[in-house]
Amino acid sequence: MSSSISNLAAVTSIAYTPSKITNERNSEDRPKITKYELLEKLGQGSYGEVFKARNKESNDLVALKRMPIGDEGEGIHLSTIREINILKQLNHKNIIPLRDVVVDSGLLHNPNVQLTAQDIKTYLKQLLEATAHMHQSRILHRDIKASNILINNDGILQIADFGLARDMDNGDEEYTKSVVTRWYRPPELILGEGRYTSAIDMWGVGCVFGELIKSRAILQGQDDLDQLKKIFNLCGSPNQKNMPNWHKLPDARKTRFKKTVRRVRREYSSFDPLAADLLDKLLVLDPKKRSTALEALDHNYFSSSPLPTNPANLPKYESSHNYDRHRNKKPRHD
């Protein structure tokens, strides 16, 4: 679950240290894409491609996200501007830093990765610390998932890809529902909730935690209705007690399901009862009762034996841009 990309930083191709980039820079001073050597393609999303690259001047390895500029007159896509602005607001060791904005003219499932209970505890703690920082900074990520988590060979986990992120409002605005990758999408979003909160990110954190334990995505729905079925099979079917007013959500009438009982604790207790308890507090149907990042960090799971591994002592592996890449590995804790 480790990446060989050390001192990982985001580079957008339309990676800059915010303090070094100002609006006063003239065209001759702006960094060019030619200062980076592309080493390998790591992934592709709706708004760009991600490469492992090397800065030719400093020899630093970076994650370079190449985002296209629109046709003449269209300019840069709004999501690109939003991602850059959000990354400039955030400064935390567990969130990928933005190093350069350059103009282009013209682990989890790795067979070699064996995570211990202590390692899993360390990675989850860093993920929660990063998420807490985002939410305290009034930022919603809106796409927490395995493939948006990078880990370097110093043992530092970093949340990446802020293409769907946005500032939180005061609770009156209705957001777009076209966010969060399906396997990590919370039930309220699938049911059509538009006035969602930071709880949608916490559902994603819970899914990633379960994935760390199981070595595979834990809720693999084929479509939205199948995703709800998978969620209810694990978390119990919704009712007025565990998800008040769920039936009033816009898409609730489209849903048909059998009554099921909650079995999160039972499913994960064999790995660690305290881990199962924490996961049970993250994968909660009612977003108002879902643990926040700060609440999760205060859970006894992190202070119990075995204690989290020191990040410097985490194992090092061959290059892997995110732990989601290791999907050919058999589950560890079924």
Map out the domains of the chain with their CATH numbers: 10-101 (3.30.200.20), 117-325 (1.10.510.10)
Report residue 219 CA to chain centroid gap. 15
Residue 79, classified by CB atoms within 10 Å of its CB into exposed (0-12), middle (13-18) or buried (19+), is middle
Residue 244, classified by CB atoms within 10 Å of its CB into exposed (0-12), middle (13-18) or buried (19+), is middle
Quick check: pTM over 0.75? no
Question: For each of the chain's 334 residues, which pLDDT tens digit applies?
Answer: 333 333 345 544 433 332 232 233 333 444 567 788 888 888 776 667 888 888 888 888 888 887 765 443 344 566 777 788 888 888 898 888 888 776 554 366 555 667 899 999 999 999 999 999 999 999 999 999 988 888 877 888 889 888 899 999 876 788 988 899 999 999 999 999 988 999 999 999 999 999 999 988 999 999 999 999 999 999 999 999 999 999 989 888 888 888 999 999 999 999 999 999 999 999 999 999 999 999 999 999 999 999 999 988 887 765 544 444 444 444 444 4
Active-site residue set? 143
Cα separation, 103 vs 70, whole angstroms: 13
**In this predicted structure, what is the pLDDT of residue 24?**
32
Strand, coil or helix: what is 263? coil
**In this predicted structure, what is the pLDDT of residue 159?**
92
* One-letter amino acid for residue 294 of the chain: L
**In this predicted structure, what is the pLDDT of residue 290?**
98
**In this predicted structure, what is the pLDDT of residue 317?**
61
**In this predicted structure, what is the pLDDT of residue 318?**
55
Cα separation, 171 vs 308, whole angstroms: 36
**In this predicted structure, what is the pLDDT of residue 58?**
87
**In this predicted structure, what is the pLDDT of residue 146?**
87
Q: How distant, in Å, are the alpha carbons of 47, 71, 77, 266 from that of 68?
A: 8, 9, 8, 47
- Whether the upstream peptide bond of residue 68 has omega within 30° of 0, thus cis, is no
**In this predicted structure, what is the pLDDT of residue 85?**
80
Do the beta carbons of residue 210 and residue 124 sit within 8 Å?
Answer: no
Angle at 320 (CA atoms; ends 319, 324), nearest 5 degrees: 170
What the block records as the tokens of 40 is 């390998």
Asked whether the CA dihedral 120, 123, 125, 131 is positive or negative, the reply is: negative
